[in-house]
Amino acid sequence: MAAPIAFKRQFEPQTGMAVPVAPGLVRVTAPNASAYTFTGTNSFLIGHERLALLDPGPDDEAHLDALRRAIGGRALETIILTHTHRDHSAAAARLGREFGVPIWFGGPHRLSRPLHRFERNRLARSCNWDLVPDRTLVDGETIAAGDVSLSVHTTPGHCANHLAFGLGDVLLSGDHVMGWNSTLVSVPDGSMADYLASLDKVIALPQQLYVPAHGGPIAHGPVFAAALRAHRQQRNEQVIAAVEAGAHRVGAIVDAIYPQQNLLVRRAASMTIMAHVEYLAGLGRVSLRRSLFGVRISPAPKD
């Protein structure tokens, strides 16, 4: 069994409402609930009289109207993105033009590694490939977000250009750490090695309250992130055990680890299991071979 972790799935998003979360931080949740977005994407207004908008979310008229109401007559100065998956970024260009403000994020969407021969990116249609930042944010800088400041932290893993932001004792953790579920890591869009390294990075930050892009706040963020890391490391051991027991395809590993889950869960699991396989192959703990017929996984050679 995977290391126990207490996911928090009881959350009332108050979709379309402006919900105060912390001083200078207001949440507006989009009406795009799904198996992958939980109760919907959380957009955030940061600041008091001068604002930044973090993750404007889907290009949905009801959501855009809710954001306009929440902004009211205050000055919106910039749009900031945690990353460029479309459930976070699809409305960015439209709102940028409407309000005449720049868009800042961690660079155009890019893969965590090049595509292999015969491989496809299963998240390609979910990525905002054409969006170009007016300013590329870099690790460790401090930026003005309306009339407050944010610290910028690169947190690749879920995807290559993912960022988290420190606002006082709050870490706006995007999709990197969420309380309702573990993060989807799908190669080559994401990288398990990067994801685990980024968990170590946020655990070492001073912020204690994590506010993610889906679901509710996480009161003891570093403790929860450490539990996520242990969960992923135990999943690594489950993958190795399944391979050593004769599972040579990703689907067979999913069957061994998720025997009772529904098709949608298993589809997401297959993407993250492949990320685990690549990570373990990089460590020499399993072997993999790619061909026109897919990936074949085998136990690592014994010394």
- Residue 61 or 302, more confident: 61
The residues with which 144 forms a beta bridge, in sequence order, are 149
The residues with which 295 forms a beta bridge, in sequence order, are 290
pLDDT at 303 over 80: no
Query: To which residue do tokens 């001083």 refer?
Result: 23
Averaged confidence pLDDT in the chain = 96
pLDDT on residue 1: 41
Global pTM reads: 0.96
The arithmetic mean of pLDDT across residues 29-49, rounded, is 97
**Dihedral over Cα of 8, 9, 12, 18: its sign:** positive
- pLDDT tier, 2 (very low <50, low <70, confident <90, very high otherwise): very low
What is the token pair recorded at 150? 């944010």
pLDDT at 254 over 70: yes
Q: Are the C-beta atoms of residues 173 and 165 closer than 8 Å to each other? A: no
DSSP 8-state class, residue 124: G
What number of other Cβ atoms are within 10 A of residue 121's Cβ? 14
Report the alpha-carbon distance of residue 91 to residue 70 in Å, rounded.
16
Report the alpha-carbon distance of residue 216 to residue 13 in Å, rounded.
8
The torsion angles phi and psi of 144, rounded to 5 degrees, stand at -85, 125
- pLDDT tier, 140 (very low <50, low <70, confident <90, very high otherwise): very high
pLDDT at 3 over 70: no
What number of other Cβ atoms are within 10 A of residue 4's Cβ? 9
Report the alpha-carbon distance of residue 188 to residue 203 in Å, rounded.
25
pLDDT on residue 292: 84
What confidence tens digit (pLDDT) does each residue in 79-137 have? 999 999 999 999 999 999 999 999 999 999 999 999 998 899 999 999 999 999 999 99
The torsion angles phi and psi of 93, rounded to 5 degrees, stand at -65, -40
> Which run of H or E residues covers position 126?
none
pLDDT at 41 over 90: yes
- Go through the domains of the chain in sequence order and give each one's CATH number: 19-220 (3.60.15.10), 232-299 (1.10.10)
pLDDT on residue 282: 97
Rg, the chain, Cα only: 20
What confidence tens digit (pLDDT) does each residue in 189-203 have? 999 999 999 999 999
pLDDT on residue 6: 85
